[in-house]
Amino acid sequence: MRYDKYIRRVRKQEGYKMITEYIDAALSKAKYEIIDDEEPYYGEVPGLEGVWASGRTLEECRHNLSEVIDGWLVVRLRRGLSIPAIGDRKIEELKRLEVSG
């Protein structure tokens, strides 16, 4: 494998790891409560404006919250908006964001 291709692959993996670690750190700061609703478990991450989710179980709520954080990060990165650090976890500036689907 050519060296430059190897470096690109490692950088992509490091970027993925950085995002995964950020999401895990955000979930560790999440606050949960039970509300009077069809999906009674509600969770949000203090410091991440607009990041909240609900679910029928705590596990489902946590899963949904993880997906919301992921989407929130994509939007902020695409728009060039700042992303607050969570503890020692932060998202470094990316020169280019590619979303495949």
- Each residue's pLDDT tens digit, 48-98: 999 999 999 999 999 999 999 999 999 998 898 999 999 999 886 555 555
Give dist(CA 98, CA 25) in Å, integer. 23
Residue 16 has pLDDT above 80, yes or no: no
pLDDT of res. 35: 95
pTM above 0.85, yes or no: no
Least confident stretch, 4-8, 38-42, 71-75: 4-8
CA distances from 16 to 11, 21, 39, 99 (A): 9, 9, 30, 12
Least confident stretch, 32-36, 42-46, 97-101: 97-101
Give dist(CA 90, CA 87) in Å, integer. 8
Exposed / middle / buried, residue 31 (Cβ in 10 Å: 0-12, 13-18, 19+): exposed
3-79: CATH, from 3.30.160.250, 3.30.160.20, 1.10.3720.10, 3.90.580.10: 3.30.160.250
pLDDT of res. 51: 97
